[in-house]
């Protein structure tokens, strides 16, 4: 005979199950991030898990290609009730850029708008302009930053990196972010994501 109400037993079982799932997910991410950090000269935050952090996915810190400091790579949920998860690269600048940039994949509505001439900014290379929607506070700087063939190649590679072709890049208020749909849980692809995003940060922030 149980001394606890059945409802309380069920709630406790659900909580324990959820904690177990969170702990397993965090442990898998920590192992993956540790391997990627070792290859890129980075580290984890926190480096040593506390009792509470064993249930939370750590942050992967990767040395920036330009300037001191680290970029942060995290698994973050998008805004909204049913929003998906993203793998996000974030780098902050001591001197915020004087302009803003937003690059994302085109969708069906964007493609229609593009045919009608509604796209905000064009780089002038049809293959690239058909893939991305580009918005910026300074059209000249945006076109200059994105005109480099290497930058276009890096963006295309990031777009394909998780097989979802959903990519977003923003430069705003001193923060440079690259966001890829879903959690990149493969070591090689996560290292490639970090490397490509770091290169884009160095090149685009260098024009700020």
Residue 40 burial (CB count, 10 A): 19
141's CB contacts (< 8 A; 6+ apart) are 99, 101, 207, 208
Q: pLDDT for 5-23, tens place per residue?
A: 777 777 777 887 888 888 8
pTM across the whole model = 0.84
Give the pLDDT score at 75: 94
Residue with tokens 């040395």: 63
Burial of 182 by CB count in 10 Å (0-12 exposed, 13-18 middle, 19+ buried)? middle
- Mean pLDDT rounded to a whole number for the chain: 84
Calpha distance 35→190 (Å, rounded): 10
Q: pLDDT for 153-186, tens place per residue?
A: 999 999 888 676 689 999 998 899 999 988 999 9
Query: At residue 83, does pLDDT exceed 60?
Result: yes
Give the pLDDT score at 165: 64
């Amino acid at each position: 005979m149980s001394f606890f109400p059945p409802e309380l037993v069920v709630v406790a079982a659900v909580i324990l199950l959820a904690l177990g799932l969170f702990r397993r997910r965090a442990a898998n991410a920590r192992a993956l991030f540790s391997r990627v950090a070792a290859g890129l000269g980075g580290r984890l935050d926190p480096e040593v898990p506390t009792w509470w952090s064993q249930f939370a996915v750590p942050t992967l810190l990767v040395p920036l290609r330009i300037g001191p400091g680290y970029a942060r790579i995290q698994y973050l949920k998008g805004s909204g009730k049913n929003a998906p998860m993203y793998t996000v690269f974030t780098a902050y600048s001591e001197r915020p850029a004087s302009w803003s940039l937003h690059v994302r994949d085109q969708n069906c509505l964007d493609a229609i708008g593009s045919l009608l001439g509604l796209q905000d900014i064009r780089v002038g290379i049809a293959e690239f302009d058909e893939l991305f929607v580009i918005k910026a506070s300074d059209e000249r700087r945006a076109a200059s930053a994105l005109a480099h063939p290497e930058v276009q190649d890096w963006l295309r590679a990031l777009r394909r990196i998780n097989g979802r072709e959903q990519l977003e890049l923003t430069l705003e208020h001193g923060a440079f972010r690259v966001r890829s749909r879903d959690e990149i849980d493969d070591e090689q692809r996560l290292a490639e994501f970090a490397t490509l995003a770091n290169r884009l940060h160095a090149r685009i922030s260098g024009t700020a």
